Amino acid sequence: MKALLGTVMDIRGIKENAAVLIEDRWIYDVIPGDRIGEYDVDEIFGGKDYLIIPGLINAHTHVAMTKFRGLGDDMPLNAWLNDLIWPMEREWSREEIRKWALIGLMEAVSNGSTTVNDHYFLADEIARAAQEIGVRAFIGQTVMDLVDFPLAEPGEGFKFFKRWKNNGLITPTLAPHATDTVSFSLLEEIRNFAEKENALIHIHLSQSREEVRKVRKREGLYPVEYLQKAGILNSRLIAAHGVYLKEKEIKLFARSGATLAHCPTSLAKLEGAVAPTVTLWNLGANIALGNDCAASNNSLDMIEEMKMAAILNKVKAGPDKIGARDVFYWATLGGARALDIKAGMIEKDYLADLVLINMRKPHFLPRGNPMSHLVYAAKGSDVERVFINGELIYSLGEFPKIKTSLFSL
Ligand SMILES: [Zn+2]
């Protein structure tokens, strides 16, 4: 049995001088630290000045796009996608996807992500990279039929799903690209398949004004209405962005049980916009947090994302509307609820996906409130060790399961 010692914090509160016991892939128990001698513990991590949090859940990402970091930084979204990113994406080889997915996953995990929800082409390679590092990964093969894009051939999404069903830490999803690039008939086909397989659907929603305009012109509907008409607006849907939702769409979305994967850094940078998360949250919508990709973010750091989420919502909706606890929920339980996994809390019989943060640093003083410090003062680089499924996956700059060095990739 392993034990993590320190201040234990999840959405319900804080336990000082506590120990989290890990057996196999589960949290065996959470006990006062001084009772650790009563258990058969063979490895102890952390101690005084350590913070233990649930692994962060990156609810929307494209890890392989790490290759495009720093390219076209300040272009408008449509020009960036159509003129820069998509031409490069047509050139992907399997080896390149796998290499950059692994680099992206290393970055995400080292900054505290234990689960990613990825949406991309050649998804088998993303899944193999995820297996290599040992991260919990939900992966969908991106499909679209209204844009000519060979890597996004619709049938491949279903084939990928079947290939990766029941595969340990990998859970396949269905990943229609966006409301403007996927036809109604393909969405219906995806819905039927998802119902049969109890699959999650992961899509981009109202990411740009252009997307909203195209859907209105083609379908006579707003994007959320389009998802509803296709029968996929329910608790099995994770929709990224939702920046341009109208009031009636916000109400419809909040009632549906679907999750908004909020990517505040990426959309502030690409569109200069913030999704209406405060209104959605107040109406009871589930919200999860995502980094999107290193091409638009430009990092895969969920700790930084929590701060951006809190700060940008203050700019949009007022300084007292969203606090550290709300965004910590989005980054933990909100994601776990979206993906239907027993994670996001530090509790007996929850998955042992845990992050150990070293607080022996000036920016954690005075000790004060760890929830505030985690969201507003901590950095991804404060993460010292990451446990996924009970296993030590990241430890002091190293990835024990990966044989090659990051810089020789
Ligand atoms: Zn995206």
- Are 260 and 275 in contact by the 8 Å Cβ rule? The answer is yes
Strand partners, 174: 141, 201
Query: How far, in Å, from the CA of 33 to the mean position of ligand 1?
Result: 42
Q: What is the Å distance from ligand 1's center to 394 Cα?
A: 26
In this prediction, residue 93 has a pLDDT band, given cuts at 50, 70 and 90, of very high
Neighbours of 31 (CB within 10 A): 18
Name the percent of the chain lying above pLDDT 70. Answer: 100
Banded pLDDT at 214 (limits 50, 70, 90): very high
Q: How far is the CA of 42 from the centre of ligand 1 (A)?
A: 42
Q: Averaged over 116-122, what is the pLDDT?
A: 97
pLDDT higher than threshold 80 for residue 79:
yes
State the pTM of this model: 0.97
pLDDT score of 42: 95
What kind of fold does domain 56-339 have according to CATH?
Answer: TIM Barrel (3.20.20)
- Rounded to the nearest angstrom, the distance between the alpha carbon of 375 and the centre of ligand 1 is 23
Question: Ligand 1 is a single-atom ion; what residues have CB below 5 A from it?
Answer: 292
Alpha helices in 111-168 (DSSP H): 123-133, 154-164
Distance 61 CA to ligand 1 centre (A): 6
Burial class of residue 229 (count of CB atoms within 10 Å of its CB; 0-12, 13-18, 19+): middle
Where exactly are the structural domains of the chain?
2-55+345-398, 56-339
CATH of 2-55+345-398, one of 2.30.40.10, 2.60.120.10, 3.40.50.2300, 3.30.565.10: 2.30.40.10
Q: How confident is the model at residue 5 (pLDDT cuts 50, 70, 90)?
A: very high
CA of 268 to the centre of ligand 1 (A): 13
* Residue 204 contacts residue 161 (beta carbons within 8 Å): no
Distance 118 CA to ligand 1 centre (A): 9
CA of 392 to the centre of ligand 1 (A): 29
